[in-house]
Structure 1
Amino acid sequence: MLYSFIIPVYNRPDELLELLESITQQTHQNFEVVIIEDGSEQSSEAVVRSFQDRLDIAWYPTTGRIGQGFSRNLGFTKAKGDYFIILDSDTTIDPDYLENLDRHLNEHELDAFGGPDRSPRVATPVQQAIDYCMTSPFTTGGIRGRKNQVDKFYPRSFNMGFSREVYEATQGFNLPYLGEDIELSTRIMEKGFSTGLVPDSPVYHKRKTSFLNFYKQIHFFGRARVNLYKLFPHTLKLPHLFPAVYLCYFGTAAVGTVILTRKGHRKGALLLAPWALYQLLIFTHATMTKKSLKVGLLSTIGVNVQMIGYGAGFIQDFVKRVVLKKK
């Protein structure tokens, strides 16, 4: 089978270079690489050209930004493969990524698939903390490429693939962003195609380097969940509501504690007891998982950034688009 890597890129020539370098090391050689330059100010053309003697690679620039979903659609029209594999440009893969994927597809005959999302081998303590927040069963419920999930498996676009037959049936992405991968995964399932996790084909995903950038990213994810709810109400699950509930509880408890304390109620701080216990749980689990007290402490900060950011984005768009019915 011929595989086509579809990689949209926006202002990330240096990170694309690292990804392409990892692709050159594949033990399975039957593949091509299609790069879509989505209106970048920092072009990746020179990087792509430097790999032309080592990869079957093509570069297609767009006129202005069209969004990562539609960039991938352009890639599908240019690709020749039997299977399309979508990767984010800020990832890298192991040399046996394709070999493991090819073996898994031959054994399980999946129509669509995805792999785990892991932290890079070299990461700052903040990036390790953010990685914990993005993959912990106590935050996301383990929905980003884990075997034990709280919900059925939806391939995610940081490490997602499907057959040409799936593409022809779905015509790819309907959204440029704001939950475009879950929207496509939902339509794939509704059309009766099989999906599954390929546990031995992970990507190593560069995390945000600051909690401010992490907040911006996760706030966007909260808004995307409302977008998906408008399209597919049944995809909204309890874990998706947890950050909004967390934000409402924390804000109410913090204000209540201040008011009661000023009035002389010594037990006012008990309102924050559930929050404190949750922080202790995160600190303990993150420290054990990452084997670092520093990362454990940073993870407690990261979890609050994650919950407040996602919750704020979700509440913002839920009120605007569902309650007030604005487009």
Structure 2
Amino acid sequence: MLSNFSFSIIIPVYNRPQEIDELLESLTKQDFSDTFEIVIVEDGSEESSEEIVKKYSEELTIQYFFKENSGAGASRNYGMQRASGNYFIILDSDVIVPPQYLSEVQKSLQEKYTDAFGGPDAAHKSFTNLQKAINYSMTSVLTTGGIRGKKNAVGKFQPRSFNLGLSKATFEKTNGFSKMKTGEDIDLTFRLWENGFETQLIEKAFVFHKRRSTIQQFFKQTFSFGTARPILNKKYPETAKITYWFPSLFIIGLDISFILAIFGFNQLLYCYGLYFVLIFLDSLLQNKNIVVAFLSVITSFTQFIGYGIGFLESKFFIK
């Protein structure tokens, strides 16, 4: 257990200087008395963030590295190998960090130390309506079961790489992220557990996560999530759950409901309609915005289709 924390924030970035600008600006506003280090790893970008990083060099302690493109996981490992802290915090470049973030992390680790943690994400008031709808779809109990940050909905928490903490000791033991392009954070969690390390959810250590800006980008992202899961199930069979089949079963059932409706059996189709009405009402209650509520139906449908098709393709067609 660490008695004194020295935080190094590791941020891989690929062609997103504007996002790095917003993230670094939010880090200048931390309500945190101790010093912390930021390690920016430019993963072979064509749009460099170096000038943005220089803009904050007097306000923040920053290391900047440029390397050939190898993916986010390898870039995080690259940053951790060069960081000076004893506890690493991994953030995606498309997040904004609230002022209390580091204080909440330090407080929680002092009260209950674990060698790894994860935090939830939320939608910032400045996000577009579509980004708020995507955030709803990724975090709602009605869509994901609340596994991405609702404490009463999780057992052993699986941190996600957009907001993840990792002690230096665990990195040295596990060698960090694997070569998987998607699902590498879940793969790391399973290896942490195999090596006897404990994880926890720090509910108050949330970040504002932009995720994707278009429906097409969101579909591609969820498709990748779906393709990763059968690979993880094969690699760690003891972690496989029937719930991972739900999005695929959802789209198969929807196809069946349309076929049945042709022959006059509409009951199953009505059930799907009721489900999307519930999503609309729940999102409206949470976001207080009818446009976001309507878009939440579209993004939730996109999420199921993307993940479900990706899961089936990976399960049965990818060797």
How far is 1:176 from its partner?
Answer: 4.1
Residues of 2 paired with 1:60 and 1:226: CA distance? 34
Partner of 1:239: 243
Residues of 1 paired with 2:217 and 2:65: CA distance? 28
C-alpha RMSD of matched pairs (Å): 1.3
How far is 1:199 from its partner?
Answer: 1.3
How far is 1:93 from its partner?
Answer: 0.6
* Residues 28-47 of structure 1: pairs in structure 2 closer than 5 A: 28=32, 29-47=34-52
Partner of 1:264: none
Which amino acid in 2 is paired with 1:303?
A: S
Residues of 1 paired with 2:205 and 2:249: CA distance? 34
Residues of 2 paired with 1:207 and 1:10: CA distance? 14
Deviation per residue, 1:235-265 (Å, 9 max, x gap): 222332110000111122223323x2xxxxx
Picking from 303, 307, 312, the partner of 2:309 is 312
Q: Secondary structure at the match of 1:193?
A: coil
Partner of 2:272: 275
How far is 1:103 from its partner?
Answer: 1.1
Q: Secondary structure at the match of 1:143?
A: coil
How far is 1:15 from its partner?
Answer: 0.5
Picking from 222, 228, 232, the partner of 1:224 is 228
Which amino acid in 2 is paired with 1:36?
A: V
Which amino acid in 2 is paired with 1:315?
A: L
Gaps of 5+ in 2: none
Q: Secondary structure at the match of 2:251?
A: helix
TM-score, normalised with respect to structure 2 = 0.95
Residues of 1 paired with 2:234 and 2:124: CA distance? 34
Partner of 2:136: 132
Which amino acid in 1 is paired with 2:289?
A: S
Residues of 2 paired with 1:110 and 1:104: CA distance? 9
**Identity, % of aligned positions:** 45
Partner of 1:99: 103
Deviation per residue, 1:258-294 (Å, 9 max, x gap): 3x2xxxxxx3333312211211221121111112222
Are positions 1:210 and 2:207 aligned together? no
Residues of 2 paired with 1:78 and 1:218: CA distance? 32
TM-score, normalised with respect to structure 1 = 0.93
CA contact (8 A) 2:94 2:209 kept: yes
Which amino acid in 2 is paired with 1:292?
A: N
* Residues 1-327 of structure 1: pairs in structure 2 closer than 5 A: 1-28=5-32, 29-63=34-68, 65-258=69-262, 260=263, 267-321=264-318, 326=319
Q: Secondary structure at the match of 1:130?
A: helix
